Amino acid sequence: MSSCLTLESLSLTTPDGTPLFDGLTLSLGRECIGLVGRNGCGKATLLRAIAGDVEPARGSLSVHGRLGRLAQIADESQTVCEALGAAEGLARLARLAAGEGSLEDADLADWTLESRLESVLASTGLRDMPLDTVLSRLSGGERTRVMIARLLLEEPDVLLLDEPTNNLDTDGRAAIAKLLQDWRGGALIASHDRHLLEQMDRIVELSPIGVTVFGGGWSEFREARDAARAQAEADLARSETALRRTQAEAQRAKEKQDRRDKAGRAARAKGDAPKMLLDKRQERAEATAARGSDLASRQTNESADALEAARARVEITAPITMDLPPVHLPRSKDILRVTEAVAAFGNRPLFGPLSFDIR
**pLDDT attached to residue 295:** 61
pLDDT at 310 over 70: no
Number of residues assigned to the chain: 359
Mean pLDDT of the chain: 82
**pLDDT attached to residue 7:** 92
Is 10 within a domain? yes
Q: Do 62 and 164 belong to one domain?
A: yes
**pLDDT attached to residue 161:** 92
d(CA 47, CA 49): 5
Lowest average pLDDT, out of 3-7, 171-175, 298-302, goes to 298-302
**pLDDT attached to residue 172:** 79
Q: Do 188 and 150 belong to one domain?
A: no
Q: Alpha helix (H) ranges present in 271-330? A: 275-312
d(CA 195, CA 348): 24
Q: Do 166 and 210 belong to one domain?
A: yes
In the three-class reduction of DSSP (H, G, I as helix; E, B as strand; rest coil), residue 12 is classed as strand
User: How confident is residue 202, by pLDDT bands cut at 50, 70 and 90?
Assistant: very high
User: How confident is residue 280, by pLDDT bands cut at 50, 70 and 90?
Assistant: low
21: which strand partners?
A: 12
Is 106 within a domain? yes
Q: Do 287 and 141 belong to one domain?
A: no
The answer, yes or no, to whether the previous bond of 164 is cis (omega within 30 of 0) is: no
Is 319 within a domain? no
Lowest average pLDDT, out of 31-40, 169-178, 253-262, 336-345, goes to 253-262
Residues 53-75: what's their mean pLDDT? 86
Q: What is the pLDDT of residues 96-127, one digit of tens each?
A: 888 888 888 888 888 998 898 988 888 888 88
Nearest to 36 by CA among 177, 211, 159: 211
d(CA 43, CA 156): 21
**pLDDT attached to residue 58:** 92
Give the end of a domain, one of 165, 183, 216. 216
- Domain extent at residue 201: 1-66+156-216
**pLDDT attached to residue 48:** 92
- The proportion of the chain whose per-residue pLDDT surpasses 70, expressed as a percent, equals 82
**pLDDT attached to residue 25:** 92
Q: Do 44 and 93 belong to one domain?
A: no
Q: Do 148 and 283 belong to one domain?
A: no
Q: Do 160 and 136 belong to one domain?
A: no
**Four-residue CA torsion sign, 179, 180, 185, 188:** positive
Between these two residues, 228 and 184, which has the higher pLDDT value?
Answer: 184
Is 301 within a domain? yes
Lowest average pLDDT, out of 112-116, 240-244, 334-338, 349-353, goes to 240-244
**pLDDT attached to residue 270:** 63
Q: Do 264 and 123 belong to one domain?
A: no
Is 354 within a domain? no
Residues 187-211: what's their mean pLDDT? 88
Q: What is the DSSP letter of 53?
A: S
User: How confident is residue 292, by pLDDT bands cut at 50, 70 and 90?
Assistant: low
pLDDT at 336 over 90: yes
Task: Show Cβ contacts of residue 247 under 8 Å, excluding neighbours closer than 6 positions.
Answer: 300, 303
> How many CA atoms lie less than 13 Å away from 93 in the CB half-sphere?
12
Give the end of a domain, one of 106, 133, 154. 154
Lowest average pLDDT, out of 1-5, 81-85, 180-184, goes to 1-5
pLDDT at 309 over 90: no
Q: pTM of the predicted model, to two decimals?
A: 0.64
Lowest average pLDDT, out of 67-71, 149-153, 266-270, goes to 266-270
Q: Alpha helix (H) ranges present in the chain? A: 43-50, 80-83, 87-97, 103-108, 113-123, 140-153, 170-182, 194-197, 218-270, 275-312
User: How confident is residue 324, by pLDDT bands cut at 50, 70 and 90?
Assistant: confident
Residues 244-264: what's their mean pLDDT? 74
User: How confident is residue 313, by pLDDT bands cut at 50, 70 and 90?
Assistant: low
Is 323 within a domain? no
- The proportion of the chain whose per-residue pLDDT surpasses 90, expressed as a percent, equals 23
Q: Do 101 and 29 belong to one domain?
A: no
Q: What is the DSSP string of 126-146?
A: -TTS-TT-BGGGS-HHHHHHH
Q: Do 303 and 250 belong to one domain?
A: yes
Is 21 within a domain? yes
d(CA 135, CA 25): 41
Domain count for the chain: 3
